[in-house]
Chains A and B, each alone.
Chain A
Amino acid sequence: MSKEKILAALRHNQPEISALPVNLAFERDESINLVEKFRVIAEGIGSKVYVVAGLEEVAALIAADFPEAKRVLSTVAEVVSSAIPAFELHEDPHTYADVDIAIFKPRLAVAENSALWITEDRMGVRALPFITQHIIMLVDKNTLVPDMHAAYEKIGDTDYGFSTFIAGPSKTADIEQSLVLGAHGPRSMTIFMH
């Protein structure tokens, strides 16, 4: 009922058709070093960035940075070891409430804002990148794009149930504009760029 009412009111009140801009191409400085740009922005919003030669360096760095972590799990097979168990699927997302560290491999990395695009199939379960105390992202340099336009060009019309851009640890400045990392989601984000 309300649907028809709303649509009828819109059809009556909408202005004449105004065209969509066809050109979404913006000027872009092609000389920018994307790795460097990404790193500066990521560190600026509170992420820790390691540029590593290969993923074999990752385990030792995680062990050094998070000596107290109890429950660690990885959705990325390449870094699974005795110290880093593989993610196991439980239907109930609440069972991940005590995860200290979760490791993921995003599909895209955006240099202009350090946002990492990760689709549901790489999350284990949707709640995991948010409920974990600390988040670790393994970013392949080849997945870097300069900006959000380039990111959506790559994303195109891929299908997913859920997907998100994550840029840094969760944060808030709601109390007197003082920045505090670790609002409701991860307290820290560590990025290994390889």
Chain B
Amino acid sequence: MSETIKTHPELAEIFNKDEERVDWHDETLWWIRQKRDKSAHSIPEWEQLRETASQIKNNVLSDLANYLLAFEKNAKANGIIVHWAANAEEHNQQVHSILKVHGIQQMVKSKSMLTEECHLNEYLEKHGMDVIDSDLGERIVQLAKEPPSHIVLPCIHKKKEEIGDLFHIHLGSPAGTSDPQVLTETARQHLRETFLTRKAALTGVNFAIAATGEFVVCTNEGNADMGAHLADVHIASMGIEKIIPDRKHLGVFLRLLTRSATGQPITTYSSHFKKPRKGQEMHIIIVDNGRTIQMGREDFRASLKCIRCGACMNTCPVYRRSGGHSYHNAISGPIGAILAPNLDMKKYADLPFASTLCGSCSNVCPVKIDIHQQLYKWRQVIVKEGYADTSKKLGMQLMTFTLSSPTVYRTAGKAGRWVLKHIPFAVNNQFNPWYKHRDMPEAPAESFGEWYKKNVTDK
């Protein structure tokens, strides 16, 4: 393919043009991170919960083939139709063919990051199907023809005035409306009409229980339930890693999920779908799309433990200041940066570098994924495989040269101090990426080595 993909730094630069918005984005997400802390700290057994969740997920990954078979068997016994899809294309075809069989051309869809990953909407639209996203945030970005910028807060990058404009154009609300209450009511009326007229509903899956063949969908808005319970056909799409062994394990995960995500004690709705209702058809599509490959990468398989809470994004200093779209992947942020290179190492070679490796992501992860260590490991893989960009490679080579010779090191240090002192404009300019959004430091009069030689006389 000849399409040029903008890298994380290039896209972040676009986002950073509006400094005020960056500050707002940064502060809003940090506020959510603080709500998460408050919520987590109110549970004395929090760390034990995280450890237990991590162990359950480790067990699931180690025996996933058997769990999936058990889940399929039990779901079928419950009257659910089960499909398997090796990749995005096959998943999209399966959704399309289910709709075709029923002669349905319009579908309502609740939040499913998997369908974003598979680009289901584009696929169905190309085949003449109409899809309406029912999660408010997702509907907003759908109207704006943008992908979600956050897995839990899809339009966190948008200001209410922009949303008012979108609703004015697409939903006919009065111009200049920006009150969230009024805008939400507008969407409620518009989507209620959608729920009442759609014959097919697609939902995601938060957890699939191997022992019972049921699946759990969590929402605050009630949109998954409104769609599913009113439609003749319910399709649920799930990645293979959504399995948990028993119902009782939900106790652990439902306690962690929203406290980690937004600081809420639980989502408004945690719906357990076990059997289709009378006269309804219920489908589950179990999707691989690269997950079995990630399973084979020993250093990165733990990324499959993710329960999509978004805590790593909210806490990440790079995500907060670069925005979700700069990751050019359905899943953004630190977790997206370790999932994406598995799908396409060349296209996403930039993402593991979009991190300070501060480790905050790993500290808040409710299932204890070693996110920052994986980011560091991906960098090594990407450089070794030859996908690192040229300036990075040159920089590294220059650094190696400088650090391996004491003479070169001392000379380079001296030169640097001289430049900063006498001709600061040589580095305080747009050609120096470090200078963007920063001032260069004042040059010290001498290096530590020089100071030491002068002041410490006894050898």
B421 interface residue (CB < 8 Å to A): no
Q: Nearest Cβ distance between residue A176 and chain B, in whole angstroms?
A: 5
Interfacial chain A residues near B292, Cβ < 8 Å: 6, 9-10, 13
Interfacial chain B residues near A10, Cβ < 8 Å: 64-65, 68, 240, 292, 295
Interface of B is mostly: helix
B288 interface residue (CB < 8 Å to A): yes
Q: Nearest Cβ distance between residue B113 and chain A, in whole angstroms?
A: 15
B188: contacting residue among A13, A29, A161, A183, CB under 8 A: A183
Interfacial chain A residues near B413, Cβ < 8 Å: none
* CA distance in complex: A148, B30 (Å): 28
* CA distance in complex: A156, B269 (Å): 20
Q: Quick one: closest A residue to B245, CB to CB?
A: A20
Residues in A50-67 with C-beta less than 8 Å from chain B: none
B275 interface residue (CB < 8 Å to A): yes
Q: Are B134 and A148 in contact (CB under 8 A)?
A: no
Q: Quick one: closest B residue to A155, CB to CB?
A: B247
B97 interface residue (CB < 8 Å to A): no
Q: Are A18 and B248 in contact (CB under 8 A)?
A: no
Q: Are A172 and B136 in contact (CB under 8 A)?
A: yes
Q: Nearest Cβ distance between residue A11 and chain B, in whole angstroms?
A: 5
A99 interface residue (CB < 8 Å to B): no
Q: Nearest Cβ distance between residue B154 and chain A, in whole angstroms?
A: 7
Interfacial chain A residues near B245, Cβ < 8 Å: 20
Q: Are B295 and A178 in contact (CB under 8 A)?
A: no
By size class, the interface of chain B is 35 or more
B270: contacting residue among A12, A97, A115, CB under 8 A: A115
Residues in B362-384 with C-beta less than 8 Å from chain A: none
Residues in B234-253 with C-beta less than 8 Å from chain A: 240, 245, 247-252
Q: Are A175 and B226 in contact (CB under 8 A)?
A: no
Q: Are A164 and B270 in contact (CB under 8 A)?
A: yes
Q: Are A183 and B59 in contact (CB under 8 A)?
A: no
Q: Are B212 and A157 in contact (CB under 8 A)?
A: yes
B65: contacting residue among A11, A29, A114, CB under 8 A: A11
| Given A10-B292, A12-B296, A175-B163, A114 and B301 contact (CB-CB distance below 8 Å) | no
Interfacial chain B residues near A152, Cβ < 8 Å: 247-248, 250-251
Q: Nearest Cβ distance between residue B220 and chain A, in whole angstroms?
A: 5
Interfacial chain A residues near B63, Cβ < 8 Å: 14, 17
How many of chain A's residues have a CB under 8 angstroms from any CB in B? 75
Interfacial chain A residues near B116, Cβ < 8 Å: none
Q: Nearest Cβ distance between residue A51 and chain B, in whole angstroms?
A: 20
A151 interface residue (CB < 8 Å to B): yes
B86 interface residue (CB < 8 Å to A): yes
Q: Are B274 and A9 in contact (CB under 8 A)?
A: no
A174 interface residue (CB < 8 Å to B): yes
Q: Are A162 and B275 in contact (CB under 8 A)?
A: yes
B322 interface residue (CB < 8 Å to A): no
Interfacial chain A residues near B159, Cβ < 8 Å: 176
Q: Nearest Cβ distance between residue B186 and chain A, in whole angstroms?
A: 11
A90 interface residue (CB < 8 Å to B): no
Q: Nearest Cβ distance between residue B82 and chain A, in whole angstroms?
A: 9
Q: Mark B54-69, 1 if CB is under 8 A from A, else 0.
A: 0110110111110011
A48 interface residue (CB < 8 Å to B): no
Q: Quick one: closest A residue to B161, CB to CB?
A: A176
B180: contacting residue among A12, A115, A164, A175, CB under 8 A: A175
Q: Are B84 and A2 in contact (CB under 8 A)?
A: yes
Q: Nearest Cβ distance between residue B224 and chain A, in whole angstroms?
A: 9
Q: Nearest Cβ distance between residue A22 and chain B, in whole angstroms?
A: 10
* CA distance in complex: A70, B419 (Å): 79
B44 interface residue (CB < 8 Å to A): yes
* CA distance in complex: A170, B269 (Å): 8
* CA distance in complex: A145, B180 (Å): 36
B424 interface residue (CB < 8 Å to A): no
Q: Nearest Cβ distance between residue A65 and chain B, in whole angstroms?
A: 20
Q: Are A176 and B160 in contact (CB under 8 A)?
A: yes
Residues in B95-109 with C-beta less than 8 Å from chain A: none
Q: Are A7 and B68 in contact (CB under 8 A)?
A: yes
* CA distance in complex: A156, B250 (Å): 12
B222: contacting residue among A9, A12, A161, A185, CB under 8 A: A185
Interfacial chain B residues near A126, Cβ < 8 Å: 225, 229, 277
Q: Which 4 A-B pairs have the closest CB atoms?
A: A185-B222, A13-B296, A113-B265, A183-B221
- 19 chain-A/chain-B pairs, Cβ below 8 angstroms: A3-B84, A6-B86, A6-B288, A9-B292, A9-B293, A13-B292, A13-B301, A14-B63, A18-B55, A19-B59, A24-B248, A24-B249, A97-B192, A153-B248, A162-B277, A175-B136, A176-B160, A177-B32, A183-B188
Interface residues of chain A, those whose CB is within 8 Å of chain B, are: 2-3, 5-7, 9-21, 24, 26-27, 29, 41, 45, 91, 93-94, 97, 110, 112-115, 120, 125-127, 129-131, 147-149, 151-153, 155-157, 159-178, 180, 182-186
